[in-house]
Amino acid sequence: MKRSNWTRDELILAFNLYCKTPFGKIHNRNPEIISLSKILQRTPSALSWKLANFARLDPSLKKRSIQGASHGGKGEIDIWNEFNNDWESLSFESEILLARKKGEKPHQVFEKEDAIVIPKGKERETIVKVRINQNFFRATVLAAYRLRCCITGIAIPALLNASHIKPWALDIENRVNPHNGLCLNSIHDRAFDRGLLTILPDYKIKISSVLQKQAKKNNPISEFFIRYDGTSIQIPDRFLPDSNFLKYHNSEIFKP
């Protein structure tokens, strides 16, 4: 199974898995790494090492003095830059490529999950691309935060959302950009979306005066929200929230 040069398709699939794998699970015993290694006809060790090569390029890890593999090739740099310059297109390309390698049709997964039937024609293409990219965004953001709400630490995936900092409808280019995402539980996700709390560029939590006032007569608000005012979020392993997106949310969505 020993092979040398990695093709562009192989690197795209490796980066796709890097995005969706919590940093602490990048090792050759990870079932997801074993599964993809079989598809690529590579060893799990070779694939896990390739993921570690991508980790060396991650500025979020460098800020935390965490090192990936010490050596790597130009191929990882090229793919890293391709994704970071066009998350919308490359995420979709990687998911389609992965589905083909598995012999699957990408839309079948969420049709089964949501019990929906995707219409045919151009509308179908649009819906399929949006849903595929939404699934990639969710998996990437949750993996970056180790499947934990960045405010409360809740670690139940069914209760977690990949929240857009700058709303999905307002910024097409950054809909899939994980730097535009936070992992929040459902309640705090809704509050963030409605501007009742925000995250400052220094990653401190700020609670709206709307909730501050209501807390005086509603104790659960103090328990769920006020206690976190001024505290810091749990920093993700990778894909730190972009300060420009946070500033936008602070000024345009948050209700002081």
The pLDDT, as a whole number, for residue 67 is 59
Cα 171 to its chain centre, rounded Å, is 16
**pLDDT at residue 172, rounded to an integer:** 86
Asked if 192 and 198 count as a contact pair (C-beta separation under 8 A), the reply is: yes
What is the per-residue pLDDT for 68?
56
Query: E strand or H helix at 207, and its extent?
Result: strand 205-207
Question: What's the pLDDT score for residue 115?
Answer: 44
C-beta contacts of 79-88 below 8 A and 24+ residues apart: 79/8, 79/11, 79/12, 79/14, 79/15, 79/54, 80/15, 80/54, 83/15, 83/19, 87/174, 87/175, 87/176, 87/177, 87/178, 88/133, 88/172, 88/173, 88/175, 88/176
Structure tokens at 137: 């965004």
- Tens-place pLDDT, residues 155-205: 999 999 999 999 988 888 899 999 999 999 999 999 999 999 999 999 999
Using DSSP, how many helices (H) and how many strands (E) does the chain show?
12, 4
Q: How far apart are CA 86 and CA 98, in angstroms?
A: 18
Confirm whether pTM is higher than 0.85: yes
**Helix or strand or coil: residue 233?**
coil
Tally the C-alpha atoms within 13 A of residue 62's C-alpha that lie toward its C-beta.
8
- The residue ranges of the chain whose pLDDT is under 50 are 1, 112, 115
Say which residues have a Cβ less than 8 Å from residue 212's Cβ, sequence separation at least 6: 226, 229
Instruction: Note the pLDDT of residue 112.
Output: 47
